[in-house]
């Protein structure tokens, strides 16, 4: 396994003390595999991604185990992490508008990790940056390399970000909502680009998104997070076709679907997303779930397996099915 995460927990400091935002999550990712992480805002998916790179906010406490290529990352020094970041593990960010420094030329920003990790000279790195920009199918790569970020469109900037991320041929790319800020058409092209890059190299992708359609189309496996906990995980096909957790089901039903009757309202999940509940016992979704029974409020649900790596954390997992 390329990446094995076990019992990962992240506590971030808030004015009222440490708040658990990722709660005992365990998952793994093989070479060349793509794993989707889906959940509402505040479900802990971004914090999970940041924890993998040891980029959690100042004062945050990370516990559990993150094994990357057989090496434990939790507790590693900042210097050691700096050598991994951008080289073996790279990250693509959500906002291409703000993830590039507005005052530096795009080419220089793409060249940076190459000079840092590959020891290329400035000239070599610049030349390689143009190749990379061409590789991510940016029109006129020489011109783009000389441009400042403001001169590029959102999609072009995201391609530049991807070029920056793949420069050192990382084994793991973490993409945090890489297409959320883009138009749907641009989104499709960027995702196709990521798919293409994945198939031509051995890199594994951790795709964080709130968009089930994106996950369904571009991932092998998916984990569904709620309040910092993994509610359901398994092969994309199985999880999305036959969800075994009421939360996944509710997410699927809240999707806008073509062919719905005119004027029909979208299904919503009652209540507001709860923040991770730390060490309290009980199911975090109990307050909003239609299937809640007494035990849900008092006992944290166990993981129930449904074969082929499909796991649901629910007391009534067996009863979950598509509503008529």
| Residue 57 or 196 having the CB closest to other proteins | 57
Q: Bridge-partner residues for 253, per DSSP?
A: none
| Residue 3 or 236 having the CB closest to other proteins | 3
Phi-psi region of 309 (alpha: psi -120 to 50; beta: other; left: phi over 0): left
| Residue 2 or 229 having the CB closest to other proteins | 2
In the complex, minimum distance from the CB of residue 140 to other proteins, in angstroms, rounded to a whole number: 23
Between the CA of residue 58 and those of 16, 42, 54, 142, what are the distances in Å? 16, 18, 10, 38
Compute the C-alpha angle 192/105/167, nearest 5°.
45
| Residue 93 or 306 having the CB closest to other proteins | 93
| Residue 114 or 252 having the CB closest to other proteins | 114
In the complex, minimum distance from the CB of residue 55 to other proteins, in angstroms, rounded to a whole number: 6
| Residue 13 or 196 having the CB closest to other proteins | 13
In the complex, minimum distance from the CB of residue 171 to other proteins, in angstroms, rounded to a whole number: 14
In the complex, minimum distance from the CB of residue 67 to other proteins, in angstroms, rounded to a whole number: 20
Alpha helices in the chain (DSSP H): 45-52, 78-84, 106-117, 122-135, 141-146, 154-166, 184-200, 212-218, 236-241, 246-253, 294-298
**Cβ–Cβ < 8 Å for 212, 41:** no
State how far Cα 142 lies from the chain centre: 31
**Cβ–Cβ < 8 Å for 286, 294:** no
In the complex, minimum distance from the CB of residue 83 to other proteins, in angstroms, rounded to a whole number: 7
Residue ranges binding other proteins (CB under 8 A): 53, 55, 58-59, 82-87, 90-91, 93-95, 98-104, 112-113, 116-117, 161, 164
In the complex, minimum distance from the CB of residue 88 to other proteins, in angstroms, rounded to a whole number: 9
In degrees to the nearest 10, what's the CA dihedral of 57, 300, 40, 222? 100
Residue given tokens 């190459």 in the structure block: 114
Q: How far apart are CA 320 and CA 206, in angstroms?
A: 27
Compute the C-alpha angle 129/134/136, nearest 5°.
95
| Residue 171 or 316 having the CB closest to other proteins | 171
In the complex, minimum distance from the CB of residue 152 to other proteins, in angstroms, rounded to a whole number: 14
């Amino acid at each position: 396994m390329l990446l094995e995460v076990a019992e990962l927990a992240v506590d971030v400091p808030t004015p009222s003390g440490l708040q658990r935002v990722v709660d005992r999550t365990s998952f793994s990712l093989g070479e060349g595999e793509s794993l989707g992480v889906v959940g509402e805002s505040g479900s802990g998916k971004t914090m999970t991604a940041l924890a993998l790179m040891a980029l959690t906010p100042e004062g945050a406490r990370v516990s559990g185990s993150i094994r990357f290529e057989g090496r434990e990352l939790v507790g590693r020094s900042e210097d050691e992490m700096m050598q991994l970041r951008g080289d073996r593990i790279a990250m693509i960010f959500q906002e291409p508008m703000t993830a590039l420094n507005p005052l530096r030329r795009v080419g220089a920003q793409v060249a940076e990790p190459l000079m840092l990790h590959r020891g290329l000279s400035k000239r070599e790195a610049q030349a390689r940056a143009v190749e990379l920009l061409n590789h991510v199918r940016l029109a006129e790569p020489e011109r783009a390399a000389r441009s400042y970020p403001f001169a590029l469109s959102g999609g072009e900037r995201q391609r530049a970000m991807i070029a920056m991320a793949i420069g050192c041929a990382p084994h793991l790319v973490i993409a945090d909502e890489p297409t959320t800020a883009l138009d749907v058409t641009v989104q499709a092209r960027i995702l196709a680009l990521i798919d293409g890059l994945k198939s031509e190299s051995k890199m594994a992708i951790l795709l964080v998104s709130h968009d089930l359609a994106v996950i369904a189309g571009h991932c092998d496996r998916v984990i569904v997070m709620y309040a910092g906990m993994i509610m359901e995980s398994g092969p994309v096909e199985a999880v999305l076709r036959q969800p075994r957790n009421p939360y996944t089901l509710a997410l699927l039903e809240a999707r806008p679907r073509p062919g719905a009757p005119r004027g029909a309202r979208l299904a919503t999940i009652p209540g507001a997303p709860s923040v991770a509940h730390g060490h309290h016992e009980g199911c975090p979704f109990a307050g909003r779930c239609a299937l809640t029974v007494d035990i849900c409020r008092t006992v944290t649900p166990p993981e129930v397996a449904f074969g082929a790596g499909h796991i649901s954390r629910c007391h009534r997992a067996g009863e979950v099915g598509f509503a008529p």
